[in-house]
A and B are shown apart, each in its own frame.
Chain A
Amino acid sequence: MAVELFLDLFSQPCRAVYIFAKKNNIPFEFRRISLMDGEHFGEEFGKINLMRKVPALRDGDFYLAESIAIMIYLAEKFETPDFWYPTDIRQRARVNEYLSWQHQGIRTHSSKVFWLRVMIPMVMGVEVPKEKMDAALEDLNSSLKLIEEKFLDDRPFIAGDQVSLADIVAIVEIMQPVGSGLDVFQGRLKLSAWRDRVQAAIGKELFDEAHQAILGAQENVKLLDPTVLQASKSKILRYFM
């Protein structure tokens, strides 16, 4: 049985795993979990991942959660080209440094901006106070500035001359607010140039395919059944606002 990957491409870490696996022609069974339909709360998925989060991997009787752990595991198992997760200890440390920072450094902010601009007002019908939105945008802007100044600096990619897992993980997060209609690349020359390089390294077709769902988010969410999120409404509002 091939490796199974449980994914919803609406989610940034799922896109990262998907892009990495497809780019490297890693054979896998795509198991779609629709977060919007609450499929991650189902009994079957609960057996795959107690934490009920995507992405998740099943390889025989080995189960794994967390996109970073999954990509590193796949890189090793399928012996992907070295640059994705270099064997050189210091280069690998550079990649690990970004992969660690990004959880609180950008992921939190990019998710928040998406929820505040799309999910909460458009699906849940709740108005977002201006100061919350402004604060979230300010945090996102600070993160993007740090990515340009520290993680890119004068390098073509985060870890140096070649693309790595760090760039995939970064780009999918930055695309989340883009899905909410916010062009974060506008006015950011260094970031835009890096995005073009990453797209070229991944392949524009694969990049576009992976991002189709999120870029259509503003339209697609109009079709969602708002009652699905009702049960979690107060939790969501407390979390993001």
Chain B
Amino acid sequence: MVVYLDLLSQPCRAVYILLTCTKIPHKVHAVALRKGEHRTPEFTNMNLMQKVPVLVDSGFILTESDAILKYLATQYDVPEHWYPRQPQQRARVDEYTAWHHTNTRAHAAKVFILEVLLPRHMGSAVDKVALNNALSNLKNTLDKLETMFLRRQPFLCGDDITVADLLAICELMQPLGAGRDILKDHPQLQRWRSRVQSAVGKSFDEAHHQLILQPPVSQWCWASKVTVDYLYGLGSTH
């Protein structure tokens, strides 16, 4: 089984963490988005949308990190808590992974895009008005994570870590690529982050190593305007 990943991408890290901490046998094929390696004819043949992560398992090609995580948790022998079988517990995970796209992912990614990707790519200053807007939307999301998902429970969907926590944590770590810790004023989320880190062990640091190292400017110069438009469009309605 091969996974095509760029560890600078949030959903790729979530997949990487699940694979490594549950020790599912796999091979990682690194794809450097910044070098446009997702736009080669071979990659496009495999994934028309030119995105990572992609999983290829004996000829079965799968995209979309939440589909990949759920596939791995059901296809391979991993502890059941990652994606519980009990219907109401599973529904909680499905509920979070759906909500995640237009909330955690959209708002956290937008902060990163405005603070790092766009300025680097355009060679321009950060748009402060847009950034403040984005930070305000993100704060709303963080408040919801605390009051709705973490209310009275240690992890987003219950007493145990699930794939939902992996998706969320990787998004919330992304602004650290600009040195911004968005959980700084949120002790409840910081405690949750520590629990996630303990639950996954060294996989967490391995996954985030490249993001957190102060990268040279060029590392963040994504190869094309199309990519930036897409990424910008990812959060543009929020």
Task: Say whether B99 contacts A65, CB under 8 Å.
Answer: yes
Q: Are B234 and A104 in contact (CB under 8 A)?
A: yes
Q: Which parts of B21-36 form the interface with A (CB within 8 Å)?
A: none
Residue of A nearest to B99 (CB): A66
In B59-76, the 8 Å CB interface with A consists of: 60, 62-68, 70-71, 74-75
Tell me whether B49 and A146 are in contact (CB under 8 A).
Answer: yes
Instruction: Tell whether, in the assembled complex, residue B95 and residue A239 are in contact, meaning their CB atoms are under 8 Å apart.
Output: no
Q: Are B48 and A72 in contact (CB under 8 A)?
A: no
**Is the C-beta of A223 less than 8 angstroms from some C-beta in chain B?**
no
Known: A51-B148, A89-B75, A108-B102. A100 touches B67 (CB 8 A): yes
Asked if residues B94 and A66 are in contact (CB atoms below 8 Å), the reply is yes
Which chain A residues border B147 with CB–CB below 8 Å?
50
A22 part of interface (Cβ distance < 8 Å) = no
Q: How large is the interface on A (under 10, 10 to 19, 20 to 34, 35 or more residues)?
A: 35 or more
In chain B, what residue has the closest Cβ to A71? B94
Q: Would you call B88 an interface residue if the criterion is a C-beta within 8 Å of the partner chain's C-beta atoms? A: yes
Interface size class of B (residues with CB under 8 A): 35 or more
* Residue among A51, A76, A96, A240 having the largest count of chain B Cβ atoms under 10 Å: A96
19 A-B interface contacts by CB (under 8 A): A62-B91, A65-B95, A65-B99, A69-B94, A69-B98, A73-B88, A73-B94, A76-B87, A93-B60, A93-B62, A96-B64, A99-B98, A100-B65, A100-B101, A101-B64, A108-B102, A149-B48, A150-B49, A239-B238
List 6 additional contacts besides A104-B102, A239-B238; criterion CB under 8 Å: A66-B94, A68-B94, A73-B87, A90-B60, A96-B67, A108-B237
A-to-B contact residues, CB < 8 Å: 50-51, 62, 64-70, 72-73, 76-77, 89-90, 92-94, 96-97, 99-101, 103-104, 107-108, 112, 139, 146, 149-150, 238-240
